[in-house]
Amino acid sequence: MRGRVLLIVLLIALGIGAIGIGLALASDAEEYASSSFLEIGATLLLVVPLVFVERALERRVERVRSSTEESVGRVEEDVQMLRDEVGEATSRIGELRSEFLDQVGQQREHDESAVTEAREAISWESIGALLDRAESLRGVSGAGVRVKLPHVWDRVRFRQVKAEPPEGEEYEPMIWISVENVGGEDTGIKTIWKPGEKAIDPLLRLAEAWQKEGTYPGDSILDPDHLYESLVDALATAIRSRTNERGTEALHSLVEKVNDRWAITNFGLEYLGEPEYPIKKEDILRDPVLAREHMLEKTWVAGHADDFREAFMVAERFFKPRKRRQLPIRGDRQ
């Protein structure tokens, strides 16, 4: 840049010098030479600045063009990057549904595996896992779930609890097992199933406590196979109701699965098939005869009237006000 300036200054100086020589010769009557030097000087003074300005403008235009091309290039790169990101985001969104369905399906398969495991190998761990899962889904009553004993009106209730540990120790989970009558009144016969114990250990203690009361119904009534099979079936019903892939309305928190068609929940008496049909406990208590006969008029109920009558009778007795409940209730759960 400095060399160009010096060259321009030199050319201008030559132009001025040429003009000066032309003027000097004009005074000496050298007309031709004077004119030549004057033209050369004037040309240098006029052309050199114009050439410099032209070259400067060309360079500036070139810089602006280069800068514009670079800016356009960067914009094109940014646009392409944005297109790529949008494409990746669209791909991820397209994959989200599949990932969601896979994970939900895996959880459902895990639940079914837990049910199968409990049926094949009854243990504190397998029953505890089902109880914990059902409670986490709010699928069972806060007071636990109960199952009926064969040929008698008594029920056995199962509830997972955590005992207050000594200071510095962790909570110890356990399963509370108790006997109540059909109306939910505590009989005082109860025991605790602790981790590490066999499935029959708490039932042996329950039988002994029952024998001490003098009302023991016999070994065929307190049947471990029947009890645990009924318990697993009830918990599976509660879990499936909450995790149904079709998204149908779930049962309210389960208290007892009376039979394959009807269940008692904290809401009232609910049908397990189609159509979904819950009967409010208030309607049952307000006029039991009217509520029962109204339901029996429905063809889908009349076809299995014995199942409905059994479930309705149990629900009526369970929801009837009583002085004392077996277990405290959390929140508004039954």
Q: What is the pLDDT of residues 147-168, one digit of tens each?
A: 999 999 999 999 998 766 667 6
C-alpha 234, offset from chain centre? 25
Q: What is the pLDDT of residue 101?
A: 80
With left for phi above 0 and alpha for psi between -120 and 50, is residue 97 left, alpha or beta?
alpha
pLDDT at 47: 62
Q: Pairing state of beta strands 172-180 and 155-163?
A: antiparallel
Closest-CA residue to 237 (of 216, 257, 258, 207): 257
Compute the distance between CA of residue 228 and CA of residue 111 in angstroms, rounded to an integer.
17
Q: What is the pLDDT of residue 332?
A: 40
* pTM exceeds 0.75: no
275-313 pLDDT per residue, tens: 888 999 999 999 999 999 999 999 999 999 999 999 999
Q: Residue 123 pLDDT > 80, yes or no?
A: yes
> How many whole angstroms separate alpha carbon 76 and alpha carbon 121?
65
- The answer to whether residue 202 scores a pLDDT higher than 80 is yes
